[in-house]
């Protein structure tokens, strides 16, 4: 069912826990585009201890946004570097300044906005578990709920053996930043950023909205379906 016609230039936007990273990885394969996560690029810089890494370390540790100029330059460099015509930006742009910079640089085909109710995010993130060795994600929450006409079907995704990673055998644990207080703070930060960005993109490019209400394969399929008209 892959779409290989014209590589799309995309950005994906959504609250914490909406599955941006998961869907971006799947869309990378489905649509033959490069997945570019600014969070990942920044973490790699910090690990390499390069100039950017040294400047951004404190921001990532405190959960603050890195200054626009640093992220913008990093994305500009990355877009020049990739050997694919299509890409999906995950975690960027996060501010209107970044969005303006991006649209001066490239013509985006569409921005995907993921939607999910706050109480579902909280439940989902409280159930998140991660392998401490390889980082693989699991989830122990089991959500079947109808809310405002949206039918959530999010079954648990647990390792075969009790809290032992299927891929590497590492211990599957809770993330220390997944407490209810930090989750609500991250949602609030997102809500404040969302409106100006959504308004900006609604005026400047195509946007599609998709409910993150099911397992990754189903939601990815819905996104691909909505993007079909841009090929
Ligand atoms: P993420 O993996 O997308 O949750 O990003 C992790 C951290 O990287 C964020 O909390 C920010 O400190 C930083 N970061 C990632 N993307 C951006 C961006 N577009 N603008 C500013 N800071 C960012």
From 39, 79, 194, mutation site for ligand 1 pocket: most ligand atoms within 8 A of C-beta? 39
**CB of residue 94 inside a 6 A radius of ligand 1:** yes
- The mean pLDDT value for 61-68 works out to 90
Q: Is 9 helix (H, G, I), strand (E, B) or coil?
A: strand
**CB of residue 74 inside a 6 A radius of ligand 1:** no
pTM: 0.91
Cα–Cα dist 49/104, whole Å: 30
Ligand 1 atom with minimal separation from the 63 CA: 10
**CB of residue 71 inside a 6 A radius of ligand 1:** yes
Tell me what pLDDT residue 14 has.
96
Residue 152, pLDDT > 70, answer yes
pLDDT band per the 50, 70, 90 thresholds, residue 133: very high
CB 195 within 8 A of CB 204: no
């Amino acid at each position: 069912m892959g779409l290989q016609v014209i590589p799309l230039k995309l950005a994906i936007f959504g609250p914490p826990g909406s599955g941006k990273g998961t869907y971006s990885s799947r869309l990378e394969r489905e649509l033959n585009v490069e997945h570019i996560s600014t969070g990942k690029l920044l973490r790699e810089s910090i690990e390499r201890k390069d100039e950017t890494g040294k400047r951004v370390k404190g921001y990532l540790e405190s959960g603050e946004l890195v200054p626009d100029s640093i992220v913008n330059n990093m994305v500009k460099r990355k877009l020049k570097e990739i050997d694919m015509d299509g890409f999906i930006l995950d975690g960027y742009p996060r501010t209107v300044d970044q969005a303006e910079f991006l649209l001066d640089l490239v013509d985006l085909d569409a921005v995907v906005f993921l939607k999910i109710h706050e109480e579902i995010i909280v439940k989902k993130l409280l159930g998140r578990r991660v392998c401490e060795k390889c980082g693989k994600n699991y989830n122990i929450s089991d959500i079947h709920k109808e809310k405002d006409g949206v039918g959530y079907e999010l079954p648990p995704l647990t390792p075969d053996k009790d809290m032992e990673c299927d891929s590497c055998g590492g211990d599957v644990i809770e993330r220390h930043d997944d407490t209810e207080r930090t989750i609500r703070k991250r949602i609030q930060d997102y809500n404040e950023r969302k409106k100006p960005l959504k308004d900006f993109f609604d005026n400047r490019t195509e946007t599609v909205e998709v409910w993150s209400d099911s397992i990754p394969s189903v939601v990815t399929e819905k996104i691909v379906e909505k993007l079909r008209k841009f090929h």
